[in-house]
Amino acid sequence: MLELLALLIILPTVAIAADISVPMTQIRDQGNGQFEGHLTFALTEEVVGWEVVVTFSAPVTGLTQWMGTDIRHSADNKVHYIVNLDYNGIQHAGTTFDITVRGTATGGSAPTATAVLKNMGVDGFTVPPIINSDGTPYNYDEVITKSILFYAAQRSGKLPADNPIPWRGDSALHDSGDNGEDLTGGWYDAGDNVKFGFPMAASTTLLSWSLLQYKDAYQASGQLDAMYDCIRWPLEWLIKCHTGTNELYVQVGDGQKDHGVWGRPEDMKMDRPAYKITASKPGSDAAGEYAAAMAVGSIVFKDKDPAFSAKLLTHAKQIYDFAKTFQGKYSVSVTEAAAYYNSDKYADELSWAAVWLYMATNVSQYLTDAESFYLTGPAWGQSWDDKNTGNMILLYKITSKDKYKQDIEATFTNWLPGATQAGRIPYTAKGLAFRSVWGSLRYASNMAFMALLAAEIGLHPTEYRKWAKSQIGYALGDTGRSFVVGFGVNPPTQPHHRASSCPMIPAPCSWANQQEKGANPHTLYGALVGGPDQNDKYTDSRNNYINNEVACDYNAGFQGAVAGTKLII
């Protein structure tokens, strides 16, 4: 039954918005077939982008009006399609919307017409909650299902026939490298449309680890196949980026140009340059993370798809050798990345790649490397830029050495409440471990995932699991509101996210849509927003990119922690 429910959850249901149909009125016959008429709509709901389909009783040529763009017409010139301009797509409920049309009809007299206004801000896609029958406060199956849907909404490139997101289409089909290499695919990073390889790979590593560790949770939620598809999408892109022995693309798109446009990815017209690291411009951190993602991916797909697994492992080995031989920070080599994902160091990624390669191959040299690159001491916290927590957990699992155990315990002494030493993570009054104002829930969720993994290897299982559950509970609604779009009580409705804020194609999208006060036209199901400030304050506003943006790395550890929590309830 769980599998059936999870399958049903991704099917679109009937649209709640009704098209408005009106006759053309105030018709003025100006002779010789020339006419003027009015299409007047009484709006009963908010309109965020519109299309008006006008059907005339006779062919009409030279149709003019000033409210929109006549984008196409039928072969017989009887049906005309008009979409809004950039500035007038938003129309409010309770108002009257009038379009004056003029044209010339065949037959010598003014035609009659019927017009239908379609609200392009409503896609009719709803994902009903799964009935929770296990007595827990939250349905973890629903969260997992919707989180995977979030990653589907972030897809770039040619979308598959079974694309579950009706408001997303093919995009960025010309992404390429310096020599024309195919760089289509992968995930858009956040609420923007840049592909940043470093955090994308980091997200893929954590998601793949969650599938490796908590496969039973994905199986029980009916999302196992969907999860394989989820991580395969970025893994295939990471492989594409490895265009030479010592050459790896780490970014597609210019952040400044991209952020200067508010629009859906399907409409992008700006240049999308690609940036790479090489032997002369190294990036051990990004390359190490690519290698780690591919190595754990090779483990996950070993039985599912042996050929794909072998391909991943081959690339992982080559990229790791590149990272180890030519050492340096990628954000120094690729300065265009520095303003967005500036790397602090790279030893942690070299250790991270090596330990995952050891897990995939059992070759002792990789373990030797992982230990030599390891950074001793308590970790800042797992993130797209800091892999120390994951390293110590894996190395303790493999070696049982006390120094790794001590580092794990010291890290969580800092993170769990009640500690008094320097380095302790502050807490909000309502119980969130508050590492940073920018994406506060992301760091707490990442460390919740790490705590569950530490518990799996026998370290303070009761204490660590209880704490992890409390942090995930905060995200899901313990404070009286959910921070996951489309889930639970009072969830966010205005995430800072271009595609979900735009109306359906062909209606245009612009900064006017970014400034719209209402909910996003499309629900970005499963997306974890950045989260509250240190005083538990949160404003659901599209303009608030610090607290209300979403990103691939926000959901990665979060989804893993939800899967792990599902198995301990």
Q: What is the pLDDT of residue 2?
A: 30
Active site residue 315: no
Q: What is the pLDDT of residue 4?
A: 31
CA distance 193 to 258: 7
pTM: 0.94
CA distance 552 to 446: 12
Q: What is the pLDDT of residue 17?
A: 55
Section 192-221 average pLDDT? 98
Query: Comparing C-alpha atoms, which of 383, 321, 378 is closest to residue 354?
Result: 321
Sign, CA dihedral 151-152-154-155, equals: positive
Query: Are 48 and 86 within 8 A, CB to CB?
Result: no
From the candidates 73, 315, 496, 497, which is the catalytic residue?
496
H helical segments located in 53-196: 140-153
pLDDT band at 420 (very low <50, low <70, confident <90, very high): low
Query: Are 94 and 43 within 8 A, CB to CB?
Result: yes
Q: What is the pLDDT of residue 9?
A: 35
Active site residue 540: yes
Q: What is the pLDDT of residue 136?
A: 80
From the candidates 175, 285, 371, 549, which is the catalytic residue?
549
pLDDT band at 123 (very low <50, low <70, confident <90, very high): confident
Active site residue 496: yes
Section 282-286 average pLDDT? 98
DSSP 8-state code for residue 178 = T
Q: What is the pLDDT of residue 128?
A: 83
Query: Comparing C-alpha atoms, which of 379, 384, 325, 376 is closest to residue 349?
Result: 384
Cβ-in-10-Å burial (0-12, 13-18, 19+) of 42 comes to exposed
Can you tell me which residue has the tokens 């271009």?
498
Cβ-in-10-Å burial (0-12, 13-18, 19+) of 79 comes to middle
Q: What is the pLDDT of residue 419?
A: 65
What SS3 state is found at 154?
coil
Q: Is residue 484 predicted with pLDDT exceeding 70? A: yes
DSSP 8-state code for residue 182 = B
CA distance 168 to 28: 42
CA distance 509 to 90: 10
Q: Is residue 569 predicted with pLDDT exceeding 90? A: no
Q: What is the pLDDT of residue 423?
A: 75
From start to end of 184-340, where are the E strands? 195-196, 247-252, 274-278
Structure tokens at 560: 């893993």
Query: Are 121 and 521 within 8 A, CB to CB?
Result: yes
CA distance 514 to 261: 10
Cβ-in-10-Å burial (0-12, 13-18, 19+) of 62 comes to exposed
Q: What is the pLDDT of residue 108?
A: 87
Per-residue pLDDT tens digits for 130-174: 877 777 889 999 999 999 999 999 999 999 999 999 999 999 999
Query: Are 177 and 249 within 8 A, CB to CB?
Result: yes
Mean of the per-residue pLDDT values of the chain: 94
Element (DSSP H or E) covering residue 100:
strand 96-105
Q: Is residue 27 predicted with pLDDT exceeding 60? A: yes
Q: Is residue 363 predicted with pLDDT exceeding 80? A: yes
Residue-wise burial string across 284-322, b where 16 or more C-beta atoms lie within 10 A, e elsewhere: bbbbbbbbbbbbbbbbbbeeeeeebbebbbebbbbbbeb
From the candidates 385, 386, 516, 540, which is the catalytic residue?
540
Q: Is residue 356 predicted with pLDDT exceeding 70? A: yes
pLDDT band at 294 (very low <50, low <70, confident <90, very high): very high
Per-residue pLDDT tens digits for 54-87: 999 999 999 999 999 999 999 999 999 999 999 9
Query: Are 483 and 539 within 8 A, CB to CB?
Result: no
Domains in the chain with CATH codes: 20-119 (2.60.40.290), 140-568 (1.50.10.10)
Q: How many residues does the chain have?
A: 569
